[in-house]
Structure 1
Amino acid sequence: METFGPGNTHEVTNQVPQLTGYNLFTSDAALVAAVEREGAGWHRAALERDGAALSSPDVLALGDLANRHTPELMTYSPRGERIDTLEFHPAWHTLLAQLRAAGVHALPFSDPQPGAMVARCAAYLLHSQIESGALCPITMTFASIPVLQREPQLFAALRDQLYTREHDPRDVPLTQKKSMMIGMGMTEKQGGSDVRSNRTHAFASLGSSGSGRGAEYRLVGHKWFFSAPQCDAHLVLARTDDHAGVSCFFVPRFTPDGNRNAVHIQRLKNKLGNRSNASSEVEFFEAYGVMVGDEGRGVPTIIEMANYTRLDCALGSTALMRAALVQAIHHTRHRSAFGRLLAEQPLMRNVLADLSLEAEAATVLVMRLARAFEDSTGTLEERAWRRLITPAAKYWICKRALEFTGEAMEVWGGNGYVEEGPMARFYREAPVNSIWEGSGNVMCLDVLRALEKEPEAAQALLTQWRDVAQHHASPASALPAALDRLLAALAASPDTREAAARRIAQQLVLIAQAVLLVQHAPPVVADAFIATRIADGCGDSGRVYGTLPATLDHAAIVERAFAG
């Protein structure tokens, strides 16, 4: 008979051990196959090393620490000097050091070779499963490189600090630093996504050598969202003339004479998620900046940066889904209810299998997009993947992550809803990628613009998809009809197309995912995906996870997703 006493009222049983000690890379069959298929097999050893290291208890704890101990703004020094500096928990800097060591900030540019973008995106998927906030300044730094490369003199001065794999957390002038990070400053109060309504002004500096590209300016105005204000420089949109449109400026944290630039941080945003990362509101009091790109061409200049950040949004949401999925599967293999492990119960297996399909479809899509980013001057099909599917994927995958993380959290029951575990953080993190770098409507309207501007590329891609569908037996038999429905939607009037833009983007992504799964996934996965997302237009319905046909092999799908 059990004896109870003070502090000993019950035995703790049927609780799930922390998921540690697994390899994030080798346990993901879809990712492993995609790395080889898309040309980054040479990077496999590094990915395996990262995949093993990232699941240690010490590394897993970093994400929790960085989000519980959020950044603090120090506006003034003890002596009353304006410093606008931020203090971070050491976990934040450890995470950034790991990301730089893995080359996530610059790999395709610092070490160009076939498959480098794919290798970098695979590493991004692994590190994003540990903590998302640290990826924000890494993404912006990465996306700024192709923009800055177009300014040879400026880039030559920054190249080594951008490319190095060493993280330097010091808040000092660039001339004293080993490495640097770059942020973005676009959004203003009155405009939001409509950056052409920006009112921040830039005035040519007195005594400087002229105006225009490469000239020095002074910026006066504000930014409502100024991402990662601790970065060593930001790319900022401002207008030089009311009629010239907005231009792009490189605004360093310190001026060339070593003084702090006049970028005053008003406050840090109190955000739902992404709490480890600082987002701020700032004002420019004649802040020093150098024009990047041609005058009045700030939006086209910054759009190139946005294309890369949108890819990273899709990557980040895919990683969140993968992280939530493995936690859910692990939980059900250790938790019993009503006399059986949860993983052995048919309805739970249905839910897990459905989540597994979603995660694999997202993975094959973002890795295919990574290959398309290898060469922007490739074939028509490659142009369509990059220009048309990127905004569609950013829209759809980021939207799906919200429902996905909620469903995975529910698998954990009440334990998933408390902050001591990872599921609540995943859930709070999910909305940001859908909002940042263009909300859902902005992305879907961009899909329509891409269809209108590059019809030949879009047609080439759709023709390629139809060829795949016609040369594969079941499950691809439903794909031609899905393509016909998409073409019918595209043939509608402009107003009708705009009203249906979300449906069109959704159809594009679902067909793209189905084609990739038919080509590269086991039939059990492709069959189930097409049966529930493509056939008879079922992807248009308001389905929830866990509604796969009972006749499918749910256990096999879950085992492929995360082997027991």
Structure 2
Amino acid sequence: MPPTHEVTNQVPDPYGHDQAEDPTLLAALHRAGAGWAEPELHALGRLAGTAEAAEWGRLANENPPVLRTHDRYGHRIDEVEFHPAWHELMRTAVSHGLHAAPWRDDRPGAHTARAAKFYLWGQVEAGHSCPISMTYAAVPALRATPELAERFEPLLASPEYDFGLRAPAGKRGLIAGMSMTEKQGGSDVRTNTTKATPHADGTYRLTGHKWFTSAPMSDLFLTLAQAPGGLSCFMLPRVLPDGTLNRLMLQRLKDKLGNRSNASAEIEYDGAVGWLVGEEGRGVRTIIEMVNMTRLDCTLGAASGMRLGAVRALHHATHRRAFGAALVDQPLMRNVLADLVVESEAATTVALRLAAATDGSLAGDEQETLVRRLGLAVAKYWVCKRGPAHAAEALECLGGNGYVEESGMPRLYREAPLVSVWEGSGNVAALDALRAMARQPATVEAFFAEVGQAAGADRRLDAGIAELRKQLGDLTELEYRARRLVELMAVTFQGSLLVRYGDPAVADAFCASRLGGDHGGAFGTLPAGVDTEAVLARARYV
């Protein structure tokens, strides 16, 4: 080999480890009583840490889905074609129960166990998480009409991934999608114009156009349309029970910033057959539980991306040398890396806490229901908002190598803004937190009871909680101040969880920087005295 072709000081591939060796994740799993899921989590973690799984993610993104509106004879088929790697990702997710399986599992912490696996497998490839999340979220909405739930829930919860255009009853397992927004309204779904006309057989015929339809290759969709009684929720299968295609025409696939492996479409309903879910005129109330479940997954998805970014940045810095020393041994880089790990652990802890609150809420625990209602809106706003800045900083830790597609960091960076937009952008989430507090004042009491469990453990956290009470007592220009208020709620929530359950070095660094004000405007501005070695050990695979 000519001397000019010698390769030195390059970082080895980050494969061959168990990604479930995540102390924050495992501790949250056991706190929720879901320790029974740890063996499967490790099995999934070992697969997630392989070069093979990484290759599935690469191929699925470099070969995005293709819309096939017609077959070669001119027949309308409205099918989406995917690379085989996509199907491997989906098959793994479904077989491990990341979709609707928890709804048929009465073990303690079933939803937390599912959340842990969703967070873990999403680090391999985030795009396919969308249909997995939609399927998970569809079940509670379908339960508003018990006969539909009885018919479809077992197939939605099946561990079999069965892709293809066939009637739902003839498949081994189903995937669900959501079709809510329209061109003129976006998040303001009450302005939807799609119409639903009732028929004598109990079905409806839907006519209209949907601007964003998640996972258009799904077997069935939940959608909103204007019925005689007002905005209502409907279930539409892609293939009708008699085997004919429903009148759902895919107009085009969206050309998106990220999330390239997943298809998002504009759909036209031209007399599409649908079944009413819930009552006429109560469509938003019916579908809101689906939205809440996907908001949980948005928070989990952001935390998943942060974990991946922090681990990859630390891996690079551990093996790369510059200016006579390993990057990880240089003080300023240690500050940056530790800051990324602190943010990641705070995001993971609050996301898994909300998954546990979901378990509690479904079991009828009123306190957990209230914490979940307000906490989801707060965390959805803040954790998802932090994701893009975190991804950018993690990418920068790799320097020019991080800007190259082969590193995987550009894909992480492009993906990061999605969850902040999906299921309501930042303003929607912040205002929803205000709405929750106004309509259900008990959520405020429940929130303070939750963060108050750490009272007296850290003076900076105590000061943050006191400031939050003061801010909530001031009703002037509340909407104008919503982002600042919800941010403070989020960091006090995270701080209280870290103080109670987190590593002491991480909790101290978080409270000093995020609550104590000893932090700059960028990552890598932690105060002196942080135990960076203890923090970094949390993101270093053995």
**TM more than 0.5:** yes
Q: Distance in 2 between matches of 1:17 and 1:406?
A: 22
Match of 1:525 in 2: 506
Render the CA deviation track for 1:514-547: whole Å, top value 9, x for unaligned. 11111112321111110000015x67xx621000
Match of 1:10 in 2: 5
1:492 Cα deviation from its structure 2 partner: 1.8
The one of 483, 486, 511 aligned to 1:502: 483
Match of 1:429 in 2: 415
The one of 236, 250, 259 aligned to 1:251: 236
1:59 Cα deviation from its structure 2 partner: 1.0
Aligned residue runs from structure 1 range 320-335, under 5 A: 320-335=305-320
The one of 513, 525, 530 aligned to 1:547: 525
SS state at 1:400 partner: helix
SS state at 2:423 partner: coil
Letter in 1 for 2:114: R
Q: Are the structure 2 counterparts of residues 218 and 525 from structure 1 closer, same or farther at C-alpha, using a change threshold of 3 Å?
A: same
SS state at 2:275 partner: strand
Q: Distance in 2 between matches of 1:88 and 1:504?
A: 43
The one of 69, 72, 75 aligned to 1:81: 75
Match of 1:239 in 2: 226
Q: Distance in 2 between matches of 1:366 and 1:60?
A: 24
1:379 Cα deviation from its structure 2 partner: 4.6
Match of 2:184 in 1: 190
Q: Check the 8 A contact 1:381/1:458 in 2, yes or no.
A: no
Aligned residue runs from structure 1 range 322-361, under 5 A: 322-361=307-346
2:122 corresponds to 1:128 = yes
Match of 1:212 in 2: none
Render the CA deviation track for 1:297-355: whole Å, top value 9, x for unaligned. 00111101000000000000100010111111100111111111101111000000000
Q: Distance in 1 between matches of 2:216 and 2:60?
A: 17
Match of 1:483 in 2: 465
Q: Distance in 2 between matches of 1:236 and 1:553?
A: 50
Render the CA deviation track for 1:19-54: whole Å, top value 9, x for unaligned. 00111112x111111111121111111111111121
SS state at 1:333 partner: helix
1:468 Cα deviation from its structure 2 partner: 2.1
Match of 1:149 in 2: 143
The one of 281, 284, 287 aligned to 1:296: 281
Q: Check the 8 A contact 1:380/1:461 in 2, yes or no.
A: no
SS state at 1:86 partner: strand
Letter in 1 for 2:459: S
Q: Are the structure 2 counterparts of residues 47 and 467 from structure 1 closer, same or farther at C-alpha, using a change threshold of 3 Å?
A: closer
Q: Distance in 2 between matches of 1:330 and 1:179?
A: 39
SS state at 2:338 partner: helix
Aligned residue runs from structure 1 range 157-306, under 5 A: 157-205=151-199, 208-209=200-201, 215-241=202-228, 244-306=229-291
Match of 1:413 in 2: 399
Render the CA deviation track for 1:195-227: whole Å, top value 9, x for unaligned. 00000001112xx24xxxxx3011110000011
Q: Check the 8 A contact 1:380/1:460 in 2, yes or no.
A: no
Letter in 1 for 2:399: G
2:75 corresponds to 1:97 = no
Q: Distance in 2 between matches of 1:381 and 1:110?
A: 24
Q: Are the structure 2 counterparts of residues 467 and 34 from structure 1 closer, same or farther at C-alpha, using a change threshold of 3 Å?
A: closer
Q: Check the 8 A contact 2:102/2:110 in 1, yes or no.
A: yes
Q: Distance in 2 between matches of 1:379 and 1:492?
A: 30
Letter in 1 for 2:234: F
Q: TM-score, normalised by structure 1?
A: 0.94
Q: Distance in 2 between matches of 1:559 and 1:519?
A: 19
Q: Distance in 1 between matches of 2:212 and 2:452?
A: 43
Q: Distance in 2 between matches of 1:460 and 1:233?
A: 37
Q: Check the 8 A contact 1:380/1:456 in 2, yes or no.
A: no
Q: Distance in 2 between matches of 1:430 and 1:461?
A: 28
Letter in 2 for 1:515: S
Match of 1:43 in 2: 37
Match of 2:301 in 1: 316
Q: Distance in 2 between matches of 1:451 and 1:231?
A: 36
Q: Check the 8 A contact 2:11/2:316 in 1, yes or no.
A: yes
SS state at 2:455 partner: helix
1:563 Cα deviation from its structure 2 partner: 4.5
Render the CA deviation track for 1:420-467: whole Å, top value 9, x for unaligned. 121010000001000000000000000001111221232233144235
SS state at 2:212 partner: strand
Letter in 2 for 1:340: A
Q: Distance in 2 between matches of 1:478 and 1:126?
A: 32
Q: Distance in 2 between matches of 1:551 and 1:279?
A: 47
Q: Check the 8 A contact 1:380/1:457 in 2, yes or no.
A: no
Structure 2 unaligned regions, length at least 5: none
Q: Distance in 1 between matches of 2:216 and 2:451?
A: 44
Q: Distance in 1 between matches of 2:100 and 2:187?
A: 27
1:155 Cα deviation from its structure 2 partner: 2.0
Q: Distance in 2 between matches of 1:489 and 1:498?
A: 12
Q: Check the 8 A contact 1:107/1:117 in 2, yes or no.
A: no
Aligned-residue CA RMSD (Å):
1.5
Match of 2:451 in 1: 465
Letter in 2 for 1:203: T
1:245 Cα deviation from its structure 2 partner: 2.6
Q: Check the 8 A contact 1:196/1:245 in 2, yes or no.
A: no
Q: Distance in 2 between matches of 1:457 and 1:328?
A: 38
Aligned residue runs from structure 1 range 355-394, under 5 A: 355-376=340-361, 378-394=364-380
1:175 Cα deviation from its structure 2 partner: 2.9
SS state at 1:84 partner: strand
Letter in 1 for 2:231: V
Letter in 2 for 1:357: V
Letter in 2 for 1:468: A
Render the CA deviation track for 1:143-173: whole Å, top value 9, x for unaligned. 0111112322222221331121011112222
Letter in 2 for 1:158: F
Q: Check the 8 A contact 1:332/1:341 in 2, yes or no.
A: yes
Letter in 1 for 2:212: F
2:3 corresponds to 1:25 = no
Match of 1:55 in 2: 49
Q: Check the 8 A contact 1:360/1:561 in 2, yes or no.
A: no
SS state at 1:375 partner: helix
Q: Are the structure 2 counterparts of residues 256 and 460 from structure 1 closer, same or farther at C-alpha, using a change threshold of 3 Å?
A: closer
Q: Distance in 1 between matches of 2:241 and 2:36?
A: 41
Render the CA deviation track for 1:116-148: whole Å, top value 9, x for unaligned. 011000001110000011110110111011111
Task: State the identity as a percent.
Answer: 47
Render the CA deviation track for 1:233-257: whole Å, top value 9, x for unaligned. 110100013xx43101111101222
Q: Distance in 2 between matches of 1:464 and 1:36?
A: 19
Q: Distance in 1 between matches of 2:398 and 2:516?
A: 31
1:557 Cα deviation from its structure 2 partner: 0.8
Moved over 6 A (4+): none
| Larger of the two Rg values belongs to structure | 1
Q: Check the 8 A contact 1:74/1:83 in 2, yes or no.
A: yes
Q: TM-score, normalised by structure 2?
A: 0.97
Q: Distance in 1 between matches of 2:444 and 2:437?
A: 6
The one of 432, 443, 468 aligned to 2:429: 443
Q: Check the 8 A contact 1:328/1:412 in 2, yes or no.
A: yes
